[in-house]
Structure 1
Amino acid sequence: MTLATINPATGATEVLVEPHAPDEVFSRIDEAAAAARELQSTTFDQRARWMHAAADILTDQAEGLGELITVEMGKPIHQSIAEVHKSAKVMRYYADHAETFLADSPLEDPGVVGASRAWTRYEPLGVVLAVMPWNYPIWQVIRFAAPALMAGNSGLLKHASNVPQAALFLDTLFERAGFPVGSFRALLIGGAEVAGVLADPRVKAVTLTGSEAAGRSVASIAGDHIKKSVLELGGSDPFIVMPSADITTAAATAVRARINNNGQSCIAGKRFIVHSKVYDEFAAAFAEQMSALVIGDPLDPATEVGPLATEAGRNSLVELVDDAVHKGAEVLAGGFAPDREGFFYAPTILAGLNDSMRVVQEETFGPVASLYRAEDAEAALRIANQTSFGLSSSVWTSDPEEQAWFLQGLDAGAVFINGMTISYQELPFGGVKRSGYGRELAAAGIREFCNLKAVWAA
């Protein structure tokens, strides 16, 4: 299977990349295993110097790398460049904090366990496989790679097949910065070959960001081989607006939450649940602003919404919207694919939804918002929790008791109060229910792929 960069703004094939043959895959796993052994004997200080150097490479090449991202998956150029800078920032964060996060923790009174000394320590696992998506082709990889390498692990990357140039860039990044040969290697393979890589005894763990189906498959294989796995899967995040909220700010933020990355973000607000007292005001502002967005060439700085990354993704979105409209949904904005080349879809708002519609339970991976009317807080919470996903959530209310009530009741890995969900390096990131398990970022993220070893000494 030849890998290809297909420009989503035009539909044209830009680059063809040949996949790795089985012997090359074996060799790259071998390199990663050797690098893991070498990294375990290096110091945090040495790894931090290399990581800072890798971050400098990203910063220096931000504009060119941003253009590559946009050509491969279609996000507006200013967002692509921002993704590169955010990736460099998280690299510096782990370079500066890894040693503290993984420091030995002594038992204050070792005598209670009959020891003269007792403590816990974190040790790297070895080679960790990352199966990564196309929607943030640099950030998703780096937020795994930075903590994994700083902990002393090596990494293997199976990237999405439509971003092969991003994979090739990442394949050499860490080695260019001084890390041992093989510390991070891309595997240009198809999805069917992941099972064989994960089964390899040299690979000790796996992390996946992607669809629920992909997560179920990878988790099953990891379970068969008793290997650690971390999954960040889909999301259908609720964005709840109550009467005490600042409706003007909430509506403007809702637009940004829904169309960021052309709507292709797991943690984007997707279901907008608005109290009936402010529903009409919010809906009018939301629809007006969504309809006014500039759709166009993602390389043009004036563009606010670019194409979806793939033709299949755009077609899936068309099917979801058509299904809802056929079953009675009201279209407040958009609802169509523009008549132009590329994989574009107009920013859309659907209202009047019912449980027979696929969009109520499935993730809309594109600039389509579902709008719900809730009669009270209990109804809003029920709608928010009715899907099988539980990644993040956003609640807009100035009432402290209401804030605490939603915080307690929402089934999600995160709750943002009066703000839009964003991943921060200082906060753990991950979901519950069918949005996955495990955490990335913060201290929790670097500890996921470490052995927490207890030490007892007489």
Structure 2
Amino acid sequence: MHAALTRVATAQAATDELFRSLRALSGAPWELLRNSPDRLGRLATFLPSNNLLYSYVLFGVIPSLYTDEVRIRPSARVAPAAMAVHEILGPQLRGLGGGRIIMAPTSQRDFLADCARSDAVVFTGQPDNGEAVAAHLPAGALLLTFGSGPNPLVVGPAADPEAACRTVLDARLYNSGQDCLSTDIVFVHRSLVREVVPRLAEALAGIRVGDRRDPGTRVAPLVYPDAVEDAARFLTAHREFVVHGGRVDVARHVVEPTLLHLPWQEAFHPPEFFSPVVCVMEYDDPRKIARWLNSPEETARGMYVSVFGEPAFAEAARIGTSVVCHERITFDAEDGNRPFGGYGPRAGSVRRNGTVTGRPLLLSAEAGSRAGS
């Protein structure tokens, strides 16, 4: 299984994914007892292109316990690796009492026909594409769309600079940055900028791009060519703010671990980098961050915001549509048996009977009799 996962993930990320998958499976009985999902006839799942095993568990194995048939379409980008996961794990599930799990790299058109005949659909990908899927579904079908958000990380004036730098790298470099939970912008209080930025630059200078199968590799060539091209365009446009790195080899799919330091720009809304790009923006007043998180752009895609050493947010559970993670990063907060994400409708939403609501998502909770009534 580890060999299958390292086709698209670093060895470190694959090991972490194995343990997260085991934890989710261990928590499945508790999850179903707590949520009492209704029995589903068919579930159609668009498998994401990363976290293949973990997604297979969350959107295939656990739902099969209350679904007669789960049909999974792997992303065309990583279909061979996804099929390998299914071929390894699928036979182990037979005879355990769950519904059938069928995975096939079918065309978009054929799979949309499967979706139209399903009681529930899980879509992972661009929100606009999720709208196209919704157009093919009957009104009563349950649609969960999992998008992405910038997941800002705040390094406040009371944070420890050394610990903050380790935290930033953990949040940004997971699987070379190819994860929707990775932070796309780091807000650093002005009082700590002179300590944090040089530390980050020094740490990134020590990271080399290596073979993703090597357990010591933290950053590897990227799996997605468009992520490489997007990073190249962004770094070219923001060259004046590059503190370290900045080189991109499109042919080898390599984005050098890179640090940018931007002054405060309230109109700046980072892209989803999906690459080892650390984007630091300094701030002097936490109210500016609150306004930024409450802007229309960020309330649409609010997932999580990690806060370290910022007293102004010590009691906050949400800022805008982003769920606050106090003194921990998104990867520490995420739990496969609990609702995932924030309240931004482009980050994650549930649709049923024409009503679309952005909120943290868990399929078993949305399939529960109270949620579906």
The bucket for the TM-score relative to the shorter chain is: 0.7 to 0.9
| 1:362 maps to amino acid | P
TM superposition shift of 1:268: 1.2
Aligned residue number for residue 38 of structure 1: none
Aligned residue number for residue 68 of structure 1: 4
**Of residues 216, 222, 228 in structure 2, which corresponds to 1:302?**
216
TM-score normalised according to structure 2 size = 0.86
TM superposition shift of 1:179: 4.4
**Of residues 89, 100, 103 in structure 2, which corresponds to 1:186?**
103
**Of residues 50, 74, 85 in structure 2, which corresponds to 1:159?**
74
- Go from structure 1 to structure 2 and tell me whether the alpha carbon gap of 1:146 and 1:418 turns closer, same or farther (over 3 Å shift): same
Residue 246 (structure 2) pairs with residue 335 (structure 1): yes
| 1:305 maps to amino acid | V
* CA displacement, residues 142-177 of structure 1 (integer Å, 9 cap, x when unaligned): 112233122244311111112223332454534432
Instruction: State whether residues 98 and 150 of structure 1, in contact with CA within 8 Å, keep that contact through their aligned partners in structure 2.
Output: no
TM-score normalised according to structure 1 size = 0.71
| 2:197 maps to amino acid | A
Residue 112 (structure 2) pairs with residue 176 (structure 1): no
Aligned residue number for residue 142 of structure 1: 57
* CA displacement, residues 5-45 of structure 1 (integer Å, 9 cap, x when unaligned): xxxxxxxxxxxxxxxxxxxxxxxxxxxxxxxxxxxxxxxxx
Aligned residue number for residue 53 of structure 1: none
Instruction: State whether residues 158 and 187 of structure 1, in contact with CA within 8 Å, keep that contact through their aligned partners in structure 2.
Output: yes
Matched ranges for 1:195-344 at <5 A: 195-199=112-116, 201=117, 203-222=118-137, 225-325=139-239, 329-338=240-249, 342-344=252-254
Residue 305 (structure 2) pairs with residue 393 (structure 1): yes
Instruction: State whether residues 389 and 435 of structure 1, in contact with CA within 8 Å, keep that contact through their aligned partners in structure 2.
Output: yes
CA distance in 2: counterparts of 1:377 and 1:98, whole angstroms: 37
TM superposition shift of 1:297: 0.9
CA distance in 2: counterparts of 1:79 and 1:347, whole angstroms: 17
Instruction: State whether residues 258 and 276 of structure 2, in contact with CA within 8 Å, keep that contact through their aligned partners in structure 1.
Output: yes
**Of residues 84, 90, 97 in structure 1, which corresponds to 2:18?**
84
* CA displacement, residues 265-301 of structure 1 (integer Å, 9 cap, x when unaligned): 1111111111111122111212221222121111122
TM superposition shift of 1:249: 0.7
Instruction: State whether residues 131 and 157 of structure 1, in contact with CA within 8 Å, keep that contact through their aligned partners in structure 2.
Output: yes
| Structure 2 residue matching 1:300: 3-state secondary structure | coil
- Go from structure 1 to structure 2 and tell me whether the alpha carbon gap of 1:251 and 1:320 turns closer, same or farther (over 3 Å shift): same
**Gap regions ≥5 residues in structure 2:** 351-358
CA distance in 1: counterparts of 2:207 and 2:81, whole angstroms: 28
- Go from structure 1 to structure 2 and tell me whether the alpha carbon gap of 1:213 and 1:68 turns closer, same or farther (over 3 Å shift): same
TM superposition shift of 1:239: 0.5
Identity across the alignment (%): 21
Instruction: State whether residues 134 and 143 of structure 2, in contact with CA within 8 Å, keep that contact through their aligned partners in structure 1.
Output: yes
**Of residues 337, 349, 365 in structure 2, which corresponds to 1:437?**
349
Instruction: State whether residues 290 and 319 of structure 2, in contact with CA within 8 Å, keep that contact through their aligned partners in structure 1.
Output: yes
Aligned residue number for residue 93 of structure 1: 27
Instruction: State whether residues 138 and 166 of structure 1, in contact with CA within 8 Å, keep that contact through their aligned partners in structure 2.
Output: no
CA distance in 2: counterparts of 1:235 and 1:323, whole angstroms: 21
Instruction: State whether residues 205 and 228 of structure 1, in contact with CA within 8 Å, keep that contact through their aligned partners in structure 2.
Output: yes
Instruction: State whether residues 131 and 209 of structure 1, in contact with CA within 8 Å, keep that contact through their aligned partners in structure 2.
Output: yes
Instruction: State whether residues 76 and 299 of structure 1, in contact with CA within 8 Å, keep that contact through their aligned partners in structure 2.
Output: yes
CA distance in 2: counterparts of 1:380 and 1:391, whole angstroms: 15
| Structure 1 residue matching 2:281: 3-state secondary structure | strand
CA distance in 2: counterparts of 1:252 and 1:321, whole angstroms: 23
Matched ranges for 1:346-425 at <5 A: 346-352=256-262, 360-386=269-295, 387=298, 388-397=300-309, 399=311, 402-404=313-315, 406-412=316-322, 414-422=323-331, 423-425=334-336
Instruction: State whether residues 151 and 450 of structure 1, in contact with CA within 8 Å, keep that contact through their aligned partners in structure 2.
Output: no
| 2:34 maps to amino acid | F
**Of residues 356, 367, 372 in structure 2, which corresponds to 1:449?**
367
RMSD (CA atoms): 2.8
* CA displacement, residues 48-90 of structure 1 (integer Å, 9 cap, x when unaligned): xxxxxxxxxxxxxxxxx2222222x2x2213213312321321
- Go from structure 1 to structure 2 and tell me whether the alpha carbon gap of 1:266 and 1:362 turns closer, same or farther (over 3 Å shift): same
- Go from structure 1 to structure 2 and tell me whether the alpha carbon gap of 1:70 and 1:170 turns closer, same or farther (over 3 Å shift): closer
CA distance in 1: counterparts of 2:258 and 2:109, whole angstroms: 35
Instruction: State whether residues 331 and 350 of structure 1, in contact with CA within 8 Å, keep that contact through their aligned partners in structure 2.
Output: yes
Instruction: State whether residues 246 and 256 of structure 2, in contact with CA within 8 Å, keep that contact through their aligned partners in structure 1.
Output: yes
Aligned length: 357
| Structure 2 residue matching 1:313: 3-state secondary structure | helix
* CA displacement, residues 397-438 of structure 1 (integer Å, 9 cap, x when unaligned): 263x6311x4343421x3211111122235421232221224
**Gap regions ≥5 residues in structure 1:** 1-64, 104-121
TM superposition shift of 1:205: 1.2
